[in-house]
Structure 1
């Protein structure tokens, strides 16, 4: 089968052996697979990614970058065949989504970051039958492929324990920020304030449901948040307000969706008292911040990653029920021959939001 393969630090298109389903597994045809920011990072910093993974897990990584790897973990696929012991509850020809996890006798591996389980930039993959979700309601394939990234945002919103009183602020409107905005919209909280330097990303944020979108180069997101969160009669200089006896700001929940050093410190400085900061952006570099800002404001700092099986299933149904307009952020589709160029294009925030790989092209 043909695939876009990570080999010797670059992406090449080549033939590779077709995977064979093992016990309780299925063989699927990749219909569409999104390119994730994690894939972009892995292309340029694979050594660092492996090192960090090993330090966190305290065991050897299952991703050997001296061997071929096929990225791609945001996918929709078609069931082709069943391996031994499969229940065959989902018949051949059905379209499915799955958490990008493979389980075998050797343990659990990440589909798309494993030498033995190629991801969605290949024509075919092997998945575990027990993790499959059949695509419901005639949801278009390209939107079903957005289930995984939307689950990341939904998980972050769930971890934030939102209430109707909260006023959310999303910093960064790349794919992660957009998924958070979509999740907040489903929760019915607001107004949803979103900030990004990129005009294109601000445009996508509006399409996904942000109520107020601003350029932080022109307007302080934290000042605008205060304006929206202040009730009638609020006076920050009033002694009664400072003692907690006068009108108070609505609770603040700030989502960090950038993932670069320095952003957390900016948030600690800009956040209102008692705010909850949810760090969704994955920063792979060393960072530093001054705890005194968080201490004096009594801020709550929450780090999140990934999603649960239930949140993954919920995200698929959010798309299928029209609660998320996934089509609004799909900006291009390429075959395996166009993957390397797509990686280059995604380096600029002014052109694309989500590019899908369709290996059968």
Structure 2
């Protein structure tokens, strides 16, 4: 079979034998695969990711010197089951899959390890337990977006944005655009998107952003909400407590402490926007911490591989919640697939084009130069 492998930052089309599924494994014919920002990153700096992975207990992440078939976003057709499988999903069914596989009792990351070749190929092995059937009638171009959209779904859930909360998305690359789509699906009524690229700002509008901002000439924080619950200065923040005490103590025999605590549990009182950092470059977290309103929730989705700093005292003074989002859980993945199937997410705006395996090296260069949003691979081309 034909596949695209990376070795020492060079991408090439290689010939590999069609893999044989082992115990608990499934052979899938790839219909579409997606090129992810993580693929662009590991092409040149796999060692940095491998060092971090080793620190958290996964020593088998690919290194620059390895030859690895990339691709952890893919959809395909079940061809065959290995021994020991339940085979509950029939052969010939379209599936997506969590990009994980057990090999000799160890879990490996598909497309990011020499032990688990990925979906930039005509065929790929996956774990039976990771399979999720694609509902009938779903276009493979959309089904393949389950994985990146699940990343966004997980981040949006982590942010806990209510429909009435303003949301600010900093960075409108593929993940930022996916976050906008999931915020829209969640019914958030005020989504601000910020990016220096005019084409990405236009895509942000198409994905559902209500306000798009070029940070070179405007500030996203000027559009992050103007209601009475949005606090932008320390005196205003302190004043909310005094005003609440004044109002509650004006009612005789009212248990003001209990009322205040109950109101807080139900979301009353000042509340900042939910902010999504989708850039992944040094300095962006500090910029957000310094400029977002008080009581904001900041969800870091962008992967910054270099050391970074921000001022904790600024975050403390504003009582910011800083959260870091990584991937998804199986329920996020399944919920995302169902939202795609039901039309709650229309992600076609993300797709720039569909290419064959021989065009992958040039596509990596185009994506690195931000000339495209999402490029899909059809190995049959």
TM-score, with normalisation over the residues of structure 2? 0.89
Q: Check whether the contact 2:232–2:293 (CA below 8 A) recurs between aligned residues.
A: no
Find the counterpart in structure 1 of residue 11 from structure 2: 11
Q: Distance in 1 between matches of 2:40 and 2:25?
A: 28
Return the index of the structure with the highest Cα Rg: 2
Counterparts in 2 of 1:188 and 1:17: CA distance versus 1, 3 Å: same
**What's the offset of the Cα at 1:25?**
1.4
Match of 2:34 in 1: 34
Q: 1:81 to 1:298 in 2, by over 3 A?
A: same
Match of 1:291? 312
Query: Which runs of 5 or more residues in structure 1 are unaligned?
Result: none
1:229 matched to 2:247: no
Distance 2:203 2:9 in 1: 32
The count of residues paired between Structure 1 and Structure 2 equals 356
**Aligned-partner Cα distance in 1 for 2:232–2:48:** 46
Number of the residue aligned with 2:334: 313
RMSD over aligned Cα, in angstroms?
2.1
Q: Cα gap change, 1:241/1:290 in structure 2, threshold over 3 Å: closer, same or farther?
A: closer
Match of 1:68 in 2: 67
1:355 correspondence with 2:375:
yes
Q: Classify 1:240/1:352 alpha carbon distance in 2 versus 1 (closer, same or farther; 3 Å).
A: closer
Distance apart, 1:206 and its partner CA? 1.3
1:276 to 2:297 alignment: yes
Q: Give the Å deviation of 1:347.
A: 1.4
Q: Whole-Å Cα distance in 2 between the matches of residues 68 and 140 of structure 1? A: 31
Question: Are 1:167 and 1:229, in contact at CA under 8 Å, matched by a contact in 2?
Answer: no
> Residues 237 and 55 (structure 1 numbering): CA distance in 2 closer, same or farther, change over 3 Å?
closer
CA–CA separation in structure 1 for the residues paired with 2:294 and 2:176: 23
TM-aligned CA deviation for residue 322 of structure 1: 0.8
The change in CA–CA distance for 1:296 and 1:17 in structure 2 (over 3 A counts) is same
1:95 — aligned with what? 94
Contact 2:78 2:95 in 1 (8 A): yes
Following superposition, the deviation at residue 239 of structure 1 comes to: 6.7
Provide the C-alpha distance between the structure 2 equivalents of 1:354 and 1:278, rounded to a whole number of angstroms.
Answer: 23
| Aligned partner of residue 126 in structure 2, secondary structure | strand
CA apart distance, 1:144: 0.3
Which residue in 1 is equivalent to 2:347? 326
Unaligned runs of 5+ in 2: 245-267
Would the aligned equivalents of 1:335 and 1:360 in 2 still touch at CA under 8 Å? yes
